[in-house]
Every structure is written in C-alpha cells, then in structure tokens.
Amino acid sequence: MANPTIVLLPVWGAGHFMPMLQAGKQLLASSSRPLSLTVLLMLAPTAQSASDISEHIHREEAASALDIHFHHLPDVKLPTDHSGVEEFLSRAVQLHVPHLRAAIIGLTCPVAALVVDIFCMPALDVSRELAVPAYVYFTSSAAMLSLLLRSPALDDEVVVEFKEMEGTLDLPGLPPVPPSVLPGTLLEWKSPTYKWFVYTGRRYVEASGIIVNMVVELEPRVLAAIAEGRCTRGARAPTVYPIGPVLALRPPAHAEEQPHECLRWLDAQPSASVLFLCFGSKGFLTKPQAHEIARGMERSGHRFLWVLRGLPADISRGAGDPSDANLAELLPGGFLGETKKRGLVWPKRAPQKEILAHASVGGFVTHCGWNSILESLWFGVPMLPWPLRAEQHFSAFTLVYDMGVAVPLKVDRKRDNFVEAAELERAVRSLMGGGEEGRKAKEKAMEMMVVCRKAMDHGGSSCASVKRLSEDLLGGAVVLPNV
C-alpha cells in the first residue's frame, strides 16, 4: 500500500501558503515512517496571488527532495459581494467543498489528515463525511487562537458592541484586553464577516488538533488557558501543537554572491544602532504619513533603514502589491540629503530576514504581521508595533503587555492608523536611546531569541511537538473506500 499522505488546504497569501507548506515539510522530515504531502490549490483571487504561488510551487518542485504533490482544484466563481476577508475565505472554501471532497476520494493512498487554514472551516464538512481527521494550521499567535475560541462565548456575553463597551475584556491567560485593540471584524457586529468570525471559533472545537506557528514558552499562560478549557466554556479544546517558529531561512550566501545593497549599507553601521522600518509585503504609505515618519526620524537623531513602498498600481481594486516608491514624490524636500550619513530609504522589496539578522539592527518598526514578529523574535530584535489591519492591533497589544518585547507606539486607528512625527520620535528614542523601557524590551527580545532557538533544537519543545503531531497523524490515517 502507498505511503499515507497529509492533505493541505492553504489559502493564497504568502504569509499563509508558505508557512503551511514549510510546516508540512517539517512533518515529513520528522516522521518515523514515510509520509507525503498533497497540496490542494484553490483558485487565487488575483493574478498577482496566482503568480506568487506558481513561482513558489516551481521552486519547491525543483529543489525539494521530499514527497510533495500539488493539485489544482477546479475553478469556481469567487464571491465579490463579501464584507471582509473572513467572509470571503469561508464562502470561497464553501464553493470548493465538492471539488475538495472529490480530490480526497480520488487519492490512491491512506489519508493521514486534512490540514486547513484559519478560515477554511466549511472544509470540516468533508473531513467529517469521509471520517478523515481534520487539523487547523493557525498562522498567528496563541493569543489570537484564544480569541477565536472564546468568540462564541463573547458573542453571547457582551450585550453591546465591543467598540461601545466600557472596561476591558477577559481573555484567559492575557492581561485585561481593551476592546479598541480587537480585530476590526469584531468591532462591526452587523457585518456578515463578524458572524463568519464567530462561526469559525465555534467550529474549531470539531478539529482533531490545532497546529500553531508558535513556541510554547512564549505564550505559556495562554496555551494553558486553552488546554484547561477556559476559552471554550469548560469544554475540551482541540489538542494544540505549538511547532514554531516556522521560518523559511535562506542558507548563508556563497562568498561569490553579491550582498544586497541594504546589507552592504548595514555593514558600515555600528552594532545594534540601526532602526529598521518595514511594513510587510502589502504595506504602503501615503505622502502625509511618509512626511511624518521622515520628520520623526530626522528629529530622533538615530540611524535608520526604511523600506518605503508606494501605492499599488490599481488601488481601486483593493488588491495587489505595493509599487516601487517614488522617493522624490513621497518624501519632504531635503530629507534624503540631511539624513544621508545615518539613514537609507529603500524604495523596493528588501530581504527582511537577512536585515533583521544583521548585527547593526537594534530595533524594528513592524506592521505586526505574524511572520514578521516571529522573524524579529528569532533574531532577538525588539519592536515598535505599528499595526495596519486584520489582527495586527491585537498582536501589537500582546507584544507590549504580554511578551514585553516591544515599546508601545500610539497609533490613531480612526485616522487609518496614522502616527504623528512627535510620537514616533518619542518611541524611537525610548527603544533605541538606552532608556528603561527600551532596555527591558531589548533584554526580553534576547531572551525570546534563545527560547525560540532552543525550541527548534533536537529535544526542544517545538521539535518534540512536531514529532508528536507526526505520530498522531500516522496513527489516524484513514484508508478511503476506493483504495
């Protein structure tokens, strides 16, 4: 009989697709018996997403020695009348359910599990019908997982909209949570996507397990609260497997390989002296905000490497990657000349992981995407959180008040996450200038770096969790009727 396979159902964003695939590869590498991966690909919503995924698949097929197979599901007409990403993803998966079922039934090997992304809960109908164990691959923090698990109870308990309530929310394992830091979806009760969010949290308890891109030692109180049923009204929560940080780190560059210009610039800077500003693969800035950052950095007096991107070519469609920035158009006149000796503004994509790994980098202004946070922790770089969307405001709160690896930055959410120059200057001086607040964040970030690396070592907590998960998958493999 053929080796069992793990079926992955990822979504399209690079921050979801690539970590899930990387986690699958870790499972294959750690399994005591041969396993394969079957990656089912849904129709991508944009040409850019389709191109990015296609390029990544091509690299995997050319370079990976592991048993990985990619299968495109038949196209469906994706919803265009959705109110948010949670609704869009859930309904898109709903439309793919018949094709998902047919693809799994058509496999000629035992199926160890169906592993789905965060908002792919309609796929659980297929796993239940076929008696295939279902797992969620969670591409965010344990704190965010606790919020999703707790959302059905909060929906019943809180009688006013969260944005209107007084006081704080009780999320077991976390400090009191101000409603103002909740994901935007939870602040709009009347929106259909709010109902899909709660629906997702309600269905999580049906999963056989939840695979979290996190290290147990980073969020021990939250994970304990989940395991004890404090987030699910006393009911047993699915087993949580913290296997992070899942990072696709590049091997060291060959001696003949020319370093990136940003890295060459960093080579000339003192140790831990540079503040790195980068807002993710989808982050871009308006001219007024770019001017505020320029003034704040100029007045702070600190060295900086700023990845500044421009608006997408077609912003009206709400999708697409940022464009290369026109620095003369976005920045105040004279700024580049005045800061030339201590700053570099880079208008294109930059190698974020390699920059964070550089000894000259001492702080990171981040949009709080989960992969960026993990990369910062892996390299021991403290953060200034500047959230932009989705769960990022909630992640920013946990970085400061739970993990202690960040200095708070006042972000005006009502003004499209605007930050004043004076506030940025204050926060930069606090993080980079040797004050008590910055010193504590730096020390904590270095502690987290050690924790992350120990977790991934042989015998570490994440390594052990991956092995336990691979054995549980092998033990639950199902031979479908047609095999």
Mean pLDDT of 142-158: 94
Looking up tokens 């103002």 gives: 180
Q: Give Cα 27 distance to the centre of its chain.
A: 19
What is the reported pLDDT for 63? Answer: 64
Residue 135 lies in a domain: yes
Residues 6+ apart with CB under 8 A from 398: 141, 143, 174, 219
If you write DSSP's letter for every residue of 334-349 in order, what string do you get? Answer: THHHHTTTTEEEE-S-
Give first-to-last CA distance, the chain, whole Å: 9
Mean pLDDT of 115-124: 95
Confidence of residue 316 (pLDDT cuts 50, 70, 90): very low
Conformational region of residue 50, where left means phi above 0, alpha means psi within -120 to 50, and beta covers everything else: alpha
User: What is the helix, strand, coil percentage profile of the chain, to 5?
Assistant: 45, 15, 40
What is the reported pLDDT for 82? Answer: 86
pTM: 0.92
Q: Are 266 and 212 within one domain? A: no
Give the three-state DSSP class for 301: coil
Residue 90 lies in a domain: yes
Higher pLDDT: 48 or 432? It is: 432
Q: Are 305 and 447 within one domain? A: yes
Q: What is the CATH number of the domain that holds 369?
A: 3.40.50.2000
Looking up tokens 């019908």 gives: 129
Residues 6+ apart with CB under 8 A from 73: 40, 41, 42, 43, 96, 99, 100, 103
Structure tokens at 300: 């702070």
Residues 6+ apart with CB under 8 A from 251: none
Q: Are 169 and 236 in contact (CB under 8 A)?
A: no
Q: Are 462 and 444 within one domain? A: no
Kindly report, residue by residue over 428-439, the tens digit of the pLDDT: 999 999 789 999
Q: Are 463 and 440 within one domain? A: no
What is the reported pLDDT for 353? Answer: 95
Residue 133 backbone dihedrals phi, psi, to 5 degrees? -55, 140
Q: Are 239 and 278 within one domain? A: no
Give the three-state DSSP class for 71: strand
Q: What is the dihedral of CA 89, 131, 140, 45, to 10 degrees?
A: -20
Structure tokens at 260: 């990136």
Q: Are 344 and 265 in contact (CB under 8 A)?
A: yes
Given 16, 99, 358, 367, the catalytic residue: 16
If you write DSSP's letter for every residue of 201-230 in order, what string do you get? Answer: HHHGGGSSEEEESS-TTTSHHHHHHHHTTT
Confidence of residue 61 (pLDDT cuts 50, 70, 90): low
How many other CB atoms sit within 10 Å of the CB of residue 154? 17
Q: Are 112 and 170 within one domain? A: yes
What is the reported pLDDT for 318? Answer: 44
Q: Are 198 and 217 within one domain? A: yes
Kindly report, residue by residue over 342-383, the tens digit of the pLDDT: 999 999 989 999 999 999 999 999 999 999 999 999 999 999
Task: Identify the domain containing residue 468 by its residue range.
Answer: 5-249+457-475
Separation between Cα atoms, residue 255 and residue 188, nearest integer Å? 53
Residue 255 lies in a domain: no
What is the reported pLDDT for 480? Answer: 78
Q: What is the DSSP letter of 481?
A: T
Given 52, 82, 117, 302, the catalytic residue: 117
Kindly report, residue by residue over 79-95, the tens digit of the pLDDT: 888 888 889 999 999 99
Q: Are 122 and 270 within one domain? A: no
Residue 483 lies in a domain: no
When mean pLDDT is compared across 60-74, 246-260, 427-441, the lowest value belongs to 246-260
Residue 481 lies in a domain: no
Give the three-state DSSP class for 309: strand
Q: Are 227 and 282 within one domain? A: no
Q: Are 202 and 99 within one domain? A: yes
Higher pLDDT: 166 or 378? It is: 378
Looking up tokens 């922790």 gives: 377
Residue 221 lies in a domain: yes
Q: Is 367 a catalytic residue?
A: no
If you write DSSP's letter for every residue of 103-161 in order, what string do you get? Answer: HHHT-SS-EEEEEE-TT-GGGHHHHHHHT--EEEEE-S-HHHHHHHHHHHHHHHH--S-
Q: What is the DSSP letter of 389?
A: S
Kindly report, residue by residue over 379-404, the tens digit of the pLDDT: 999 999 999 988 999 999 999 999 99
Share of the chain above pLDDT 70, in %: 95
Residue 256 lies in a domain: no
Separation between Cα atoms, residue 109 and residue 477, nearest integer Å? 10
Kindly report, residue by residue over 172-189, the tens digit of the pLDDT: 999 999 999 999 999 988
Number of independent structural domains in the chain: 2
What is the reported pLDDT for 254? Answer: 55
Share of the chain above pLDDT 90, in %: 71
Q: Are 95 and 173 within one domain? A: yes
E strands within 236-337?
Answer: 239-242, 274-278, 303-307, 309-310, 323-324
Residue 230 lies in a domain: yes
Separation between Cα atoms, residue 445 and residue 43, nearest integer Å? 39
Q: Is 16 a catalytic residue?
A: yes
Q: Are 28 and 42 within one domain? A: yes
Confidence of residue 143 (pLDDT cuts 50, 70, 90): very high
